[in-house]
Chains A and B, each alone.
Chain A
Amino acid sequence: MAAVVKGVLKSVRERGVLGFFRELRDEGYLNCLADGNLLQTKIHNIGATVVGVDKFGNKYYEKLGDTQYGRHRWVEYASKGRYNASQVPAEWHGWLHFITDRTGDELRLLRPNKYGLDHKENFSGEGDEYIYHSKGHSLNPGQRDWTRYQPWQPTKT
């Protein structure tokens, strides 16, 4: 605890009070008050080693030793407000889920240059573009011109 207080004081001394609060906000400490999940992560982070940071800014932590097996790797998402698991790029996924011991930075180098696409998070359910409306749903663009049958038009005679 003393170390934490010492760190806070050091930071305040370096950046000033305003700067300190800005950093607190950016690092998501203020969100912690409302978001228990993030708070848990922050508490976990104490004493853990940062294994890598991906290009989106997600931080990957590992803590061996007195951590329960299977809970010793985790990610702190770059976005503190709106985060979800699809923000983890493919190269880090394997490390994070204990599929491989190679970190994402190592695996990134193997990505083929020719056709490897950049990782994109899953936007399902956000915005018109990403919502699937089944056939028959009034918002499905196909619904408007779908008819069960096309009647014969007598005017054509």
Chain B
Amino acid sequence: MRRTFYQRNQPFLDRLFAFILHNPVLERGLVLAPIVVAAYNVQNALILGVSFALITFITVFLSSLLPQKIPYVFRVIFYALLACAVFVPTAMMMDWMFAESVVNIGVFLPLLVANSLIVVKSETRFHQHPTFGRMIGDLFSNVLGFLLVILLVGLCREWLANGFSLTRTAEGSFSVPAAALPFTGFFLIGLLAALVKKIRGRLENPRPRKSEQREEFLASLQQK
């Protein structure tokens, strides 16, 4: 059977589009809480996305320099404390950039210090890469994937809650204020996850072309 462009270049394309095809949120359900609860508008999504990117990227990068001789238990505690050290300037910067909006995010900004990519995946995934470049590439695609999903979800929810407009709701227009509530976040991420799974399934197992289908059908007839 003829192989598609994706099948011929799968390892390269998988790495290049890992932020979509192996998205940390849509494939593995990591770091869901900020997206489901707090990303109900674009501004919150932007604050959380940029903070996550800075905290996770810097923490995982610095933690990779830690010697492996230190016991696992202390390494994990150190990763979280390191993330706290990065959190302080990040939160200050967000406070300066977005003024009072950071208050709306509540505990979800400080909670980024204990996200799964730092506490779990640093050890089981990022630090396991054979080269430093591979680790940075993987880290970058994970951070980009999160940023993409949180912005998309924030945009959709603000659009729905504001009556299908990104400006303030016009009087009398139909809007879905429940879009700002957590269950809508679960539904939206569930639908996005299904979409990505569908795309991945279609890329890995493409439908045979009509001519190929005809050949298969004729071959099956001959066998009978």
Q: Do A and B come from one complex?
A: no
B interface with A by C-beta (< 8 Å): none
